[in-house]
Amino acid sequence: MNRPTSIKLPALGIDVGAKPLRTRGRSGSIVKVEQVGEGSIEEVLDRSAYSNINADWVNAKGAWLIHVVLICIGKLIIDTVPGMTQQISWTLVNLFYLALSYLMFHWVTGIPFHNDLHGGAYDDLTLWEQIDDGAQYTPAKKWLFILPITLFLASTHYTNYNPWLFSVNISALVLVLIPKLPQLHRRRVRLVHDDPSGIATPTTPGFPSGASTPSSLRDITEAHFR
């Protein structure tokens, strides 16, 4: 569509009250770090109106022990697979635990229960960022930090210090520990394609890609609405 050049509209994130830019301007970098969930007064109000049961459970009774229980059960199940050696078993337990805990705490955003009470104020935040209202170094977070490290150390011990398995395990561990750092609280690392319009292709959650919008949507005419 031809647009007259006199019209210049500022590029902004869509927000009530004209928030400042959420995305950076064009740059030559491959990766950029974005802030999410700015905490405008309305979002703070919506988050604090009711208690967030989706994030409070980590402080409940038994929520810490359940990790250990599930790891043991997982180990037992994996051990029942025929032809399983101790080395592979421990590696698998470590990797599965890291993968599942990453998925649950750092990939999925939003809240599954009591979604209406908070009016979408948590839609951009992962479970890790919701715990304890975003306070860092709380007991629950410390436990969730220590546990993967302990599991990793146990797995290296039982894999007889095989260098290949060690490298696999430690890279997985480092990948999972990075989003737990307080410096990355409410920040997303996004890969930037270098196409001329500077469109960001997110790899971390927040934007399900618009590629699923069918192109036939553009072909719907007024006739469909009569």
Partner 1 sequence: MTMMSQSVDAFVEGLSSFLNSIPGSAVLVRYVKSSHQNDPGRTVLELLLVAFAIFTLLQSRTRADRSGKHFIQFEEKEIDELVDEWKPEPLAEPLNDVEASDLAAVPIIIGQTGPKPTLARQPSKIIANLASYNFTGLAGKEVIKERAIETLRKYGLGSCGPPGFYGTLDVHMQLERDIADFLGTEAAIIYSQGFSTISSVIPAFCKRGDIIVADRGVNFAIQKGIQISRSSVRWFDHNDLKSLEDVLDSVEKERKKRRAPLTRRFIITEGIFEKDGAMIDLPKLIDIKYRKKYRLILDESISFGTVGRTGRGLTELYNVPAAKVDMLIGSMANGLCAGGGFCAGSQNVIAHQQINGPSFVFSASMPALLAVSASEGIDILRSTPSILTKLQQNVRTARSLLDELDCISIPSHSASPIIHLHIRKPAAGLLHPGSPSLGGGHSLKPSNPTSILPREASKWDWDIETEERALQQVVEEALKRGVMITRAKRLRGQEMVEARPSIKLALTSELSTDEVKKAIKVVAQALKDVLRK
The residues binding partner 1 (CB under 8 A) are 1, 3, 6-7, 9-16, 18, 23, 39, 41-42, 44, 46-48, 119-121, 123, 132-138, 142, 145-146, 149, 152-153, 156-157, 161, 163, 166, 170, 173, 182, 197, 199-201, 207-210, 212-213, 217, 220, 222, 225
d(CA 156, CA 170): 9
State the nearest-atom distance from the C-beta of 131 to partner 1, in Å.
10
Q: Please, which residue, 79 or 133, has the CB nearer to partner 1?
A: 133
**φ, ψ at 24 (rounded to 5°):** -75, 165
Q: Do 92 and 165 meet the contact criterion of CB atoms below 8 Å apart?
A: no
Is the Cβ of residue 18 or residue 83 nearer to partner 1 in the bound state? 18
What residue type is 93 in one-letter code? V
Taking the C-alpha atoms of residue 209 and residue 196, their distance in angstroms, rounded to an integer, is 19
Question: Least CB distance from residue 12 to partner 1, whole Å?
Answer: 6
Q: How far is the CB of 221 from partner 1 (least distance, A)?
A: 8
Direct distance between the N- and C-terminal alpha carbons of the chain, in angstroms, rounded to an integer: 26
Q: How far is the CB of 65 from partner 1 (least distance, A)?
A: 18
Q: Are 204 and 31 in contact (CB under 8 A)?
A: no
Closer to partner 1 by CB, 65 or 217: give it: 217
How far apart, in whole angstroms, are the C-alpha atoms of residue 204 and residue 106?
9
